[in-house]
Amino acid sequence: MSKLNGGRNLTHQVTYTLGAAIVRGDYGVNEPFPTEAELCEQFDISRSVIREAVKMLTAKGLISSRPRQGIRVQPNSSWNMFDEDVLQWTLTSRPSLELLREFTELRIGLEPEAAILAARKQNSANISRIHDALRRMEAAERGLDDPLEADIAFHSSILLASENRFFMQLRNFIQTALRASIACTNQLKGVEVASESDHRAVYEAIVAGDQTRAHNAMLALLTEALALIDASLSARENTPDGVSATL
């Protein structure tokens, strides 16, 4: 690895560099990991900076650091996938259909329920925000807006309209993952933009206060995405070389 530049906090630079390398697979589980002294020499920085970076990576679940055991890479089952850095590194370095399937399964557990709450709460300002996002999607179909950002805005606005603080605090996480997920499912579907009419069904149900219809309309969007991912996974599993479903 190259020496760090001075444009960013050194601790964060080390954290990002090592974190991305771990997620990329440069350091495997049960494989040797540099000691603090070796990292100091490698990055040409003080031990205090390295120790802070190690603490940050430990908090993200990527490594463990114990006396007499040294630094060890944790299996990916221990990684904090709700950490935006870990999620971003994973989507950038090791994107896979398996990962996107898990994310879509999470969305199925969250977004239809958020649509129910939005239909129940009937907050006019929040519903107006959903409508604005829908209008952006309509403009995107005519090439007048960014289709990915419009789609993300729609789904984020429904989480906000749920007025559930837990759902609302997941918005940044959802937005980060949606950038990869939507692009992938649109590619699998053979389209460049998401269907505004399919999303309008969710909006109209929310406006009408029809909780069941809002739930079902959102569920239909997500189960279609899941079916596309499953079909692609199945096709790749049947290839002669059995290649992992990496994007």
Give domain limits for the chain. Answer: 10-78, 95-237
pLDDT of residue 239: 67
Cα–Cα distances (Å) from 147 to 30, 38, 71, 127, 223, in that order, read 43, 46, 43, 20, 20
Whether residue 133 is predicted with pLDDT greater than 50 in this model: the reply is yes
* Local confidence band at 104 (pLDDT 50, 70, 90 cut-offs): very high
Instruction: Tell me which residue has tokens 């049960």.
Output: 30
Q: Which fold has domain 95-237?
A: Four Helix Bundle (Hemerythrin (Met), subunit A) (1.20.120)
pLDDT digits (tens, 9 = 90+) for 171-224: 888 888 888 888 788 777 777 777 899 999 999 999 999 999 999 999 999 999
Confidence of residue 243 (pLDDT cuts 50, 70, 90): very low
Q: Hey, is 226 helix, strand or coil?
A: helix
| pLDDT (tens digit per residue) in 141-170 | 999 999 999 999 999 999 999 999 999 999
- Give the H or E element holding residue 72: strand 70-73
- pLDDT, residue 150, reads 94
Residue 242 scores a pLDDT above 70: no
Nearest CA among 132, 127, 133, 136 for reference residue 161: 127
Give residue 44's pLDDT: 92
- What CATH number belongs to 10-78? 1.10.10.10
Per-residue pLDDT, 69: 81
- pLDDT averaged over every residue in the chain: 89
Beta bridge partners of 70: 66
Asked if 39 and 50 count as a contact pair (C-beta separation under 8 A), the reply is yes
Name, in order, each residue with C-beta under 8 angstroms of 195's C-beta and a sequence gap of 6 or more.
none
pLDDT for residue 4 is more than 90: no
* Cα 142 to Cα 206: distance, rounded to the nearest angstrom: 25
The helix/strand/coil state of 65 is strand
**Two structure tokens written together for 10:** 């050194």
The pLDDT of residue 183: 77
Give the pLDDT confidence of 33-78 residue by residue, as tens digits.
999 999 999 999 999 999 999 999 999 999 998 887 889 999 999 9
| CA distance to 56, 84, 91, 227, per residue, from 24 (Å) | 18, 16, 10, 28
Assess contact for 51 and 36: CB atoms under 8 A: yes
